[in-house]
A and B are shown apart, each in its own frame.
Chain A
Amino acid sequence: GENVEQHPSTLSVQEGDSAVIKCTYSDSASNYFPWYKQELGKGPQLIIDIRSNVGEKKDQRIAVTLNKTAKHFSLHITETQPEDSAVYFCAASREGGYQKVTFGTGTKLQVIP
């Protein structure tokens, strides 16, 4: 089955700086890579996703990159704000058929005002 590794487990940045979270996956057939944000006491919520037919996707201050050859993908948050503080999970799955979504172990991001 799929195995997703995520680093770092914790990340502290100053407000306004950038934050980068990296993930690797094992199943070369995986082709859908979502990122979820979990605020304290809440359930995870999808913030951005990328499919294997593109190498990069941006949405305002958030961007994801995908390197299929190396089987890794990253989340980039620019101009971080205190409300970005949360736990972020990467995930991988295979579209087009039944394949469960496998999550990474999470990164706790703290943005220091």
Chain B
Amino acid sequence: NAGVMQNPRHLVRRRGQEARLRCSPMKGHSHVYWYRQLPEEGLKFMVYLQKENIIDESGMPKERFSAEFPKEGPSILRIQQVVRGDSAAYFCASSPEAWGRGTGELFFGEGSRLTVL
């Protein structure tokens, strides 16, 4: 059973470009979460999605950031007009049930490291 797959693992963009990060959850998981990890900082929640629905985007900046989890295909975190402060590792996690239920465990991918020049 493949784990959470994220791609690309490394992405370099120039200021003003767009970054698209993809996440395929574990098989059988329909809940996806995106976290951002800045150097020397913890994991900051960004957004929680189920298939075709955004459940909680309270941690996502109001501008330039968007996320989707379509009926078919991976979840995508999109950052428009990137700035240097967007440089970070972006982690996707999935779970078979909404958090707070089941075992509570989140299964993380290996992250996408975005560098903005």
Determine whether the beta carbon of A6 is less than 8 Å from that of B42.
yes
Would you give the shortest CB distance from B59 to chain A, in whole angstroms? 8
> Taking the complex as formed, is B69 at the interface, i.e. its CB lies under 8 A from any CB of chain A?
no
**Dominant SS at the A interface?**
loop
* Pick from B41, B48, B93, B99: contact of A105, CB under 8 Å: B41
Q: Which of B12-20, B60-68, B75-83, B101-109 contacts A (4 or more CB under 8 A)?
A: B101-109
Determine whether the beta carbon of B108 is less than 8 Å from that of A100.
no
* Pick from B4, B45, B104: contact of A43, CB under 8 Å: B4
Chain A residues within an 8 Å CB radius of B106? 44, 46, 101
Size of the B side of the interface (Cβ < 8 Å), in residues, is 26
Chain A residues within an 8 Å CB radius of B93? 43
Determine whether the beta carbon of B48 is less than 8 Å from that of A100.
yes
Chain A residues within an 8 Å CB radius of B101? 95-96
Determine whether the beta carbon of B91 is less than 8 Å from that of A43.
yes
Determine whether the beta carbon of A101 is less than 8 Å from that of B41.
no
For the side of the interface on A, what is the size category?
A: 20 to 34
Please provide the chain A residues from 53 to 112 with a CB less than 8 Å away from any CB of chain B in the complex: 89, 93-106
C-alpha spacing A24/B40, complex, angstroms: 19
Determine whether the beta carbon of B42 is less than 8 Å from that of A100.
no
Determine whether the beta carbon of A43 is less than 8 Å from that of B109.
yes
Determine whether the beta carbon of A97 is less than 8 Å from that of B91.
no
C-alpha spacing A8/B42, complex, angstroms: 13
> Taking the complex as formed, is B28 at the interface, i.e. its CB lies under 8 A from any CB of chain A?
no
Determine whether the beta carbon of A41 is less than 8 Å from that of B110.
yes
Contacts A89-B42, A100-B45; A46 near B105 (Cβ below 8 A) = yes
Q: Which residue in chain A gives the minimum CB-CB distance to B100?
A: A95
Chain B residues within an 8 Å CB radius of A89? 42-43
Chain B residues within an 8 Å CB radius of A32? 100, 104
Determine whether the beta carbon of B45 is less than 8 Å from that of A44.
no
Determine whether the beta carbon of B100 is less than 8 Å from that of A34.
no
Q: Which residue in chain B gives the minimum CB-CB distance to A10?
A: B40
Contacts A44-B43, A49-B104, A89-B43; A100 near B110 (Cβ below 8 A) = no
Q: Can you name 14 A-B pairs with beta carbons within 8 Å? A: A43-B4, A43-B108, A43-B110, A43-B111, A45-B108, A93-B104, A94-B100, A95-B101, A100-B45, A100-B48, A100-B99, A101-B33, A101-B99, A105-B42
